[in-house]
Amino acid sequence: MLVDLAIKFGISLVVLLGVLNFAGMQTWLERKQSALMQDRIGANRATFTLPWVWARPINWMLRKLGGLGILNALADVLKLFTKEDFVPAQGDRFLHTLAPAISLLFALLAFAAIPIGPTVELFGRSIPLQVANLNIGLLVVLALASMGIYGVVLAGMVSGNNLATLGGLRAISQMLAYEIAMGVSLIGVVIWYGTLDLQLLVQQQGHHGFGGWLPQWGLFVQPIGCLIFMTAALAHTKRVPFDLPEGEPEIIGYFTEYSGMKFGLFFLTDFVEVVLAAALTTTLFFGGWQIPWLFADGFHFPWGLIIPVSPLVYVLLGLLSFTLKVFGFIWFFMLIRWTLPRFRYDQLMRLGWKILFPLSLINIVVTSICVVSWH
């Protein structure tokens, strides 16, 4: 019993640290990526030096890190921790403090059912690289991810500011428009693979069709569902072009009356939700930790070549595959964020209700016909 708890605690710690590091990395990556796209240098001035003679090698390293912009993340954290924690006179202090914690908590909890690697056989135990190995993991992830909206709405309502309230109302209407389409788009995935267990779903994507040349990833068997899900997942993150709940040039947003680290928690939640969207896209449509033609005993290429690998290498390759895919989607979502302009609110609603939702219903019908015909 204690061993099982220790294993779960270790996996939970790995997932938590991995998510937080991916989220923190985005503060640097977004600055540098946007600077590259806009033909400028980007963050390169946040640095400091130590006054001692023996610290010259350290100061050289700090100057290099500052020139790359890596120390900007540290500067941001120090700034947020030292700024005044302001609560409006007409606001509720307890609920004002609780709101950002709710948003971040549920965003982090949603990672519990996402498998980050294959099952490990260790000391006679089968250890799934997954915090909670649930047979309804997909429903759990969607439920937990959608709960974070309560923190956003609460932040707008308890701030005593009309513009913040408007931002919270925009957030909940946007959630209804896009999370319904997101959930319906995933019904096609469930119909095709016949499971809500995310680990089993990833394993089934490791099968190959077309003579063994093409893996049965969700991208290939559910292309419409993949497109709808990625669009709705971007809307869930509340970032450009779906940042109407924030809308800095218009209403500032649901965090208008937030400062210091409480604003930092909302800022961190946005980045955690981007990691969650990337992890779910990887898990549902891009094979998760699977690598094409890699099985538990090694690579089996369709032209007959077999390259054996050890169980440890198989697990490490799976972890590396999942990590690189998630990183790639984070980069892709940022590419969209710095390319497209913000939608008007009527355009946002029209896209959700009149395009994505009907398409997701059509996808269910087409998938059902294909499953009945081919199976």
- 3-12 confidence digits (pLDDT tens): 778 888 999 9
Note the pLDDT tens digit of each residue in 287-331. 999 999 999 889 999 888 899 999 999 999 999 999 999 999 999
The mean predicted confidence, pLDDT, of the chain is 91
pLDDT at 16: 93
Mean pLDDT to the nearest integer, 132-139: 91
Quote the tokens at residue 84.
Answer: 């005044």
Asked whether 174 and 351 are in contact (CB, 8 A), the reply is: no
Residue of 116 and 74 predicted with greater confidence: 116
For residues 30 and 297, what is the distance between their CA atoms, to the nearest angstrom? 39
Query: Hunting for tokens 């030292």 — which residue is that?
Result: 82
- The DSSP code sequence of 332-362 is HHHHHHTTSPPPPHHHHHHIIIIIIHHHHHH
The two structure tokens encoding residue 2: 């204690």
Check pLDDT > 80 for residue 192. yes
- Torsion angle (degrees, nearest 10) of CA 238, 242, 244, 248: 80
Share of the chain above pLDDT 90, in %: 63
Q: What's the rounded Cα separation, in Å, for the pair 193 and 188?
A: 9
Q: Is the pLDDT of residue 161 over 90?
A: no
Q: Percentage of residues in the chain with pLDDT exceeding 70?
A: 99
Residue 280 has pLDDT above 80, yes or no: yes
Cα separation, 72 vs 34, whole angstroms: 15
Do 290 and 321 touch, CB atoms closer than 8 A?
yes
* Span 32-52, pLDDT tens digits: 999 999 999 888 888 888 888
- Which sequence spans correspond to the domains of the chain? 2-42+93-374, 44-82
The CA angle 364-369-373, to the nearest 5 degrees, is 150
Q: In what order do the strands lie in the sheet with 298-300?
A: 294-295, 298-300, 306-308
What is the model's pLDDT at position 337? 92
Averaged pLDDT for residues 243-262: 85
| Res. 375: pLDDT tops 70 | no
Tokens of 224: 């419409």
Query: Measured between alpha carbons, how far is 32 from 65 in angstroms, rounded to an integer?
Result: 13
Query: What distance in Å separates the CA atoms of residue 302 and residue 212, rounded to the nearest whole number?
Result: 5
What local confidence, expressed as pLDDT, does residue 123 receive? 74
Question: CA angle 61-63-66, nearest 5°?
Answer: 110
Calculate mean pLDDT across residues 178-192. 94
Q: Which residues of 220-241 are buried (b: 16+ CB within 10 A; e: fewer)?
A: bbbeebbbbbbbbbbbbbbbbb
271-284: average pLDDT: 96
Quickly state the pLDDT bin for 248 (edges 50, 70, 90): confident
CB 257 within 8 A of CB 88: yes
Helix (H) or strand (E) holding 320: helix 311-337
The pTM (predicted TM-score) of the whole model is 0.95
Q: By mean pLDDT, which of 62-66, 206-210, 213-217, 275-279 is the weakest?
A: 206-210
| pLDDT at site 136 | 92
